[in-house]
A and B are shown apart, each in its own frame.
Chain A
Amino acid sequence: MVIRSAQSNSRMLANHMGYLQLYVSGPFDALKPAGMNHSMDDSSRIEGVGLAISRNDRYIFTDLNFSLEAGQILQVEGHNGSGKTTMLRILCGLTLPSEGEVQWRGENIRKNLAEYCAQLAYVGHAPGIKGELTPLENLDFAKTMDRPRKDADAEKVLERLQLPAFCDDVPCHNLSAGQRRRVALGRLLMLDARLWVLDEPFTALDPGGRKLVEELLSEHAQAGGMAVLTTHHVVNLEGCSVRQLQLGT
């Protein structure tokens, strides 16, 4: 388990800020990697503090601590039944932890769930898209329900996700599982979310699709975003480090 106390985190953050103040003379924006298109402040940090979850009073995991800062990616690993999905759902605020809390910028996410939800994009096991709607309609719906990116355009997103053009107007239940997964991942590109929570994003994807997701992840991280994902694959990301969190023993 990756265990870090809250203090050491804030100290690290302080060092980081100090570095910025002392050594950077140019405009602040110069530090940001190219492609960063939304305004972000670097105080965003997500932390799990003493998380525990029990089902029927049997603990699946206890005393789980982790923290994630802007530009970092966390890969949650563990055998089947070790609580990976549950942990992601706790992170989203869907599941109530039996003990402990999730903190966003040092504050329990339950305090201001709406604001937290606006910062969050989640792609779970179930893709969260309607089979009766076309990919375009699905993405447009997602856009109206959350905080969209300024340049969010469903057609361009689907193009980016390498979905064949004729698919745009086909109901999603006629698409293959991999294509539906791509549509679901399209939400990430529609929304202006700092934190991505992805449950097995690589399932049903072909090697090209996997590579695409890895690209998206490293772009997101380089733009100062954060991501938490579960997968059994080895994730190769250019230009950013992936930290591992081991669940179960």
Chain B
Amino acid sequence: MSIIPNWLYRLSSPKNFYRFAGTASVWCSWITLILVVVGLYYGLINSPPDYQQGDTTRIMYVHVPAAWMSMFVYMVMAGSAAVGMIWRIKASTAVANASAPVGAMFTALALLTGMLWGKPMWGTYWVWDARLTSELILLFLYLGYMALQSAIEDRETAARATAILALVGVVNIPIIHYSVEWWNTLHQGATVTKFDKPSIHISMLIPLLIMAVAFKFYYLSNVFQRARCELLEREKDKLWVRELLGEKNSE
């Protein structure tokens, strides 16, 4: 255990993680709220419209962070699933399981906002644009992960099986991403690539980054809350849960 720092080791016990996640979740929720308000204010009100795309470009403040998160969450999910499988840490597995629906939601959000943006730009909701296609495939990967998880009855087995799937996904995502990009440049070289501006103005960049950070904190608060629920359910026969429930009841 020497390779794992002591504080992390202690955190890996379900009881300590439950406590930690509770506090962290509350803090993250507040930070999210503040950042979203500030970010949306700058993004929707206090930034100039794009000289080409007009006000439509404001969808970017939701779309781009969501797209970033969709990838990021998959990596976190695969990483924590692997840690959970190798060292058999329940808290880590719980984080992986909790990440899947949140990640799928971010992916769906990125797809949805991408389509809303596409309607005025391309005149149609769906164009086989490289990024939209990649997001769509990523959504399939998330859905497959969740389908496998719900198909296996035993939680422990489900956790280990989905960890393998997530790792296979991590190896494949860059390959899929690259193939789709390549395929896209081949077939639709003329299409405007959407948010790929080489120089984004600082007045747009700041709200974008604020929103990106806000999404990260939203993810954290959500994942901690879900992981807490899962841990409670899994450990319902353990002493610490009974003590916890006892405390709650006597209050």
A and B touching (Cβ–Cβ under 8 A): yes
What residues make up the interface of A, taking CB atoms closer than 8 Å to B? 54-58, 98
A54, B159: Cα distance in complex, Å: 14
Tell me, rounded to whole Å, the shortest Cβ–Cβ distance linking B146 to chain A: 18
Contacts of B154 in A (CB 8 A): 55-56
Tell me, rounded to whole Å, the shortest Cβ–Cβ distance linking A13 to chain B: 32
A55, B157: Cα distance in complex, Å: 9
Q: Classify chain B: how many residues form its interface, as a range.
A: under 10
B155 CB-CB contact with A under 8 Å: yes
The reply to whether B235 and A57 form a contact with Cβ atoms under 8 Å apart is yes
Tell me, rounded to whole Å, the shortest Cβ–Cβ distance linking A97 to chain B: 11
Contacts of A56 in B (CB 8 A): 153-155
B201 CB-CB contact with A under 8 Å: no
B236 CB-CB contact with A under 8 Å: yes
A58, B236: Cα distance in complex, Å: 9
Tell me, rounded to whole Å, the shortest Cβ–Cβ distance linking B58 to chain A: 47
What residues make up the interface of B, taking CB atoms closer than 8 Å to A? 153-156, 234-237
Contacts of B237 in A (CB 8 A): 57-58
Tell me, rounded to whole Å, the shortest Cβ–Cβ distance linking B15 to chain A: 15
A55, B234: Cα distance in complex, Å: 11
Contacts of B236 in A (CB 8 A): 57
Smallest Cβ-Cβ distance to B233: which chain A residue: A57
Contacts of A98 in B (CB 8 A): 156
Contacts of A58 in B (CB 8 A): 237
- Can you give 12 contacting A-B residue pairs, CB < 8 Å? A54-B156, A55-B154, A56-B153, A56-B154, A56-B155, A57-B155, A57-B234, A57-B235, A57-B236, A57-B237, A58-B237, A98-B156
A56, B155: Cα distance in complex, Å: 5
A57, B155: Cα distance in complex, Å: 8
A72, B241: Cα distance in complex, Å: 43
Contacts of B235 in A (CB 8 A): 57
- 7 other A-B residue contacts (CB within 8 Å) besides A55-B154, A56-B153: A54-B156, A56-B154, A56-B155, A57-B155, A57-B235, A57-B237, A58-B237
A57, B231: Cα distance in complex, Å: 11
Tell me, rounded to whole Å, the shortest Cβ–Cβ distance linking A81 to chain B: 15
Contacts of A54 in B (CB 8 A): 156
Contacts of B155 in A (CB 8 A): 56-57
Smallest Cβ-Cβ distance to A59: which chain B residue: B237
Closest 3 CB pairs of A and B: A57-B234, A56-B155, A55-B154
A240, B237: Cα distance in complex, Å: 43
Looking at B155, B156, B235, B237, which has the most chain A CB atoms within 10 Å of its CB?
Answer: B156
A187, B152: Cα distance in complex, Å: 32
A174, B232: Cα distance in complex, Å: 52
A58, B156: Cα distance in complex, Å: 11
A148, B24: Cα distance in complex, Å: 59
Tell me, rounded to whole Å, the shortest Cβ–Cβ distance linking B242 to chain A: 14
Contacts of B153 in A (CB 8 A): 56
A58, B237: Cα distance in complex, Å: 8
A66, B235: Cα distance in complex, Å: 28
A183, B235: Cα distance in complex, Å: 45
A55, B154: Cα distance in complex, Å: 6
